Structures are given as structure tokens and as C-alpha cells.
């Protein structure tokens, strides 16, 4: 797969007809996409955990109260016991992979400690788990009208409330999800 066909830094927006409960009405940021497959993080599925819960579990103390109240998201059905932090890219940090020059993904405790102490990125999202696709699987799902894809925006990723991300990400593409039906066909 060449760079012009990569979906990295794109949002996958579940079409109304996608009934898989793991992905129904989700928005997924594609972090990596190549001929070997794709990996992404669902950004609009908050769960019953907060960052404060995670910090307590990791024994990270002296946490800012506002930060402790931030939600944790279910990033996908794979490895949902592993944390992934999507964040403003701040250069080279331990276990950080650049998605773009402005967004990174980290898996280290260091970034969580920095966030807890107000020394990390200002914009971030913690997710447990990820979504993954094998070679050609995502491309086939897009061809089958399971997903819309479009450029990721910092506004939707970090500043739009979780419950509004699905509709807002589609609106960025000029699509009103309330006007689409669950059935699609090919001409």
C-alpha cells in the first residue's frame, strides 16, 4: 500500500447499517494503515472508568481533580486491558508513535504520569483496547459501505463531546447521518 491510499489520520465513521455491536455508531481514528492491515482507536465510547480510577490503579498520586474526572474510552475490542493515549504530539516520548506531526499515540506509563501532574499534553484521550483489521479487510468493509472515511480533526477528536462525535464527524464531510438509512446498494 502506498502513502496515497493510507487511511492513517482518517476517521472511520460507522454507517447506520453497520450492526456489529463493537462498532455501531462509532468513530474510529485510524492510527496505522498499510498492506499488513490497520489499527485504530474508537473515540466515542466512554466507559464507566475515569482517569482518576486508572491513576489509583497505577498508584499515581497528586492528581489534578479536573483531570481525574475525565472519561476513559473503549478503544476497541482487541486488548481492552491495555491503555492507549491519543494526544497532541509533543515530540519524542517513550513509547510514542506519531500519527501526524500534531497527533501521537502512546502506551507508556510516563505520559499518564505527566497528564496526572499537569505536565503532559493539554489535549488527550485515554482508551482501553483498539480496533484492528487484517490485510485488505478494512478496504473491503469500506467497499461494502460499512464505513465513511474522512480527515481526522482535532476539534472532533479532543473538543467535541463523546456523544456528538459520530454525527459531527459525518457533518465535517457534509453528511447528515439522520438522513441515511441502514441499507446501501451499489449502482
46-50/71-74 β-pairing: antiparallel
Give residue limits of the domains in the chain. Answer: 3-178
What pLDDT is attached to residue 3? Answer: 44
Q: Average the pLDDT over 101-126 and give the result.
A: 91
Tell me which of 81-85, 122-126, 175-179 is least confident: 175-179
In angstroms, rounded to a whole number, what is the distance separating the alpha carbons of residues 167 and 177?
Answer: 6
Task: Give percent of the chain with pLDDT exceeding 70.
Answer: 92
On the question of pLDDT at 141 being above 80, the answer is yes
On the question of pLDDT at 15 being above 90, the answer is yes
10: its cell numbers: 482518517
On the question of pLDDT at 80 being above 60, the answer is yes
What pLDDT is attached to residue 91? Answer: 63
What pLDDT is attached to residue 2? Answer: 45
Q: Tell me which residue of 39, 26, 1 sits closest to 131, measured CA to CA.
A: 39
Query: What's the chain's average pLDDT?
Result: 90
CATH (residue range 3-178):
3.40.1740.10
What pLDDT is attached to residue 113? Answer: 92
On the question of pLDDT at 186 being above 50, the answer is no
CA distances to 8, 14, 47, 130 from 123, rounded to whole Å, are 19, 24, 19, 19
DSSP string, 59-77: T--S--HHHHTPEEEE--S
Confidence band (pLDDT; 50, 70, 90) for 5? confident
What pLDDT is attached to residue 143? Answer: 94
Tell me the per-residue pLDDT of 53-73, one tens digit each, with 9 for 90 and over: 999 999 999 888 889 999 999
On the question of pLDDT at 48 being above 60, the answer is yes
Count Cα atoms within 13 angstroms, Cβ side, for 122: 3
pTM: 0.91
In angstroms, rounded to a whole number, what is the distance separating the alpha carbons of residues 25 and 164?
Answer: 11
Amino acid at each position: 500500500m502506498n502513502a496515497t491510499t493510507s487511511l492513517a489520520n482518517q476517521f472511520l465513521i460507522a454507517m447506520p447499517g453497520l450492526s456489529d455491536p463493537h462498532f455501531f455508531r462509532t468513530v474510529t481514528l485510524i492510527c496505522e494503515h498499510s498492506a499488513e492491515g490497520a489499527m485504530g482507536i474508537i473515540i466515542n465510547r466512554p466507559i464507566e472508568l475515569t482517569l482518576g480510577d486508572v491513576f489509583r490503579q497505577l498508584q499515581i498520586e497528586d492528581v489534578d481533580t479536573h483531570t481525574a474526572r475525565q472519561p476513559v474510552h473503549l478503544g476497541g475490542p482487541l486488548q481492552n486491558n491495555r491503555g492507549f493515549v491519543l494526544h497532541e504530539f509533543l515530540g519524542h516520548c517513550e513509547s510514542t508513535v506519531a500519527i501526524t506531526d500534531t497527533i501521537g499515540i502512546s502506551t507508556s506509563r510516563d505520559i499518564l504520569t505527566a497528564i496526572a501532574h499537569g505536565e503532559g499534553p493539554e489535549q488527550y484521550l485515554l482508551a482501553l483496547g483498539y480496533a484492528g483489521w487484517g490485510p485488505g479487510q478494512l478496504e473491503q468493509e469500506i467497499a461494502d459501505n460499512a464505513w465513511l472515511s474522512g480527515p481526522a480533526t482535532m476539534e472532533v477528536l479532543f473538543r467535541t463531546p463523546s456523544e456528538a462525535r459520530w454525527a459531527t464527524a459525518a457533518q465535517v464531510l457534509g453528511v447528515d447521518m439522520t438522513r441515511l438509512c441502514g441499507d446501501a446498494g451499489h449502482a
